[in-house]
Amino acid sequence: MSKARIDDAAGASAVREATAAVDAGETAPRMVTATAVRWLLQVMADAEPGATVEVRVPPFGAVQFREGLSHTRGTPPNVVETDAATFIRLAVGRLTWPDAVAGALVSASGSRADLTGYVPVQLPGLRSE
């Protein structure tokens, strides 16, 4: 059985609502945040299939993406971890990767754990602002 996918319209709607909350310095409802993060991770994995880098946004989800050497067991060699608000800001272009790293808003380990060029992600159903 394949993993359940989030519909682009539902994902885009959740991202718009979560982004508005983050921009206002607030927190979106948990279900909205969860849907937004999971859809953004899904879009990221769809755009760059592979298993070289794992992006973790606890407690909402994680995804492996990018072609290259992959791992099969244990902790992957290239891991990026951050909170939901930071991930949403990165994914929609409200925060740059260098600024997130400089501000210690992300934990990135491994030689390929750099999301430059992967964030912001190209989002179906959302126009760039």
Q: Are 33 and 84 in contact (CB under 8 A)?
A: yes
Burial of 24 (C-beta count, 10 Å sphere; 0-12/13-18/19+): exposed
CB 48 within 8 A of CB 24: no
SS3 67: coil
Dihedral sign, CA of 87, 121, 30, 78?
Answer: negative
pLDDT at 128 (0 to 100) = 47
pLDDT for the residue numbered 20: 97
Q: What is the CATH number of domain 8-109?
A: 3.30.1050.40
Residue by residue, DSSP assigns 21-59 as HHHTT----HHHHHHHHHHHHHHHHHHS-SSSEEEEETT
What pLDDT does 126 receive?
A: 63
CA dist 69 and 50 (Å) reads 9
Across the 129 residues of the chain, what is the mean pLDDT of every consecutive 10-residue run? 85 97 96 98 94 94 84 76 98 97 96 94 69
Alpha-carbon 17 to chain mean position: 16
* 2 secondary structure, DSSP code: P
pTM over 0.85: yes
pLDDT at site 104 = 97
Instruction: Please give the pLDDT value at position 70.
Output: 60
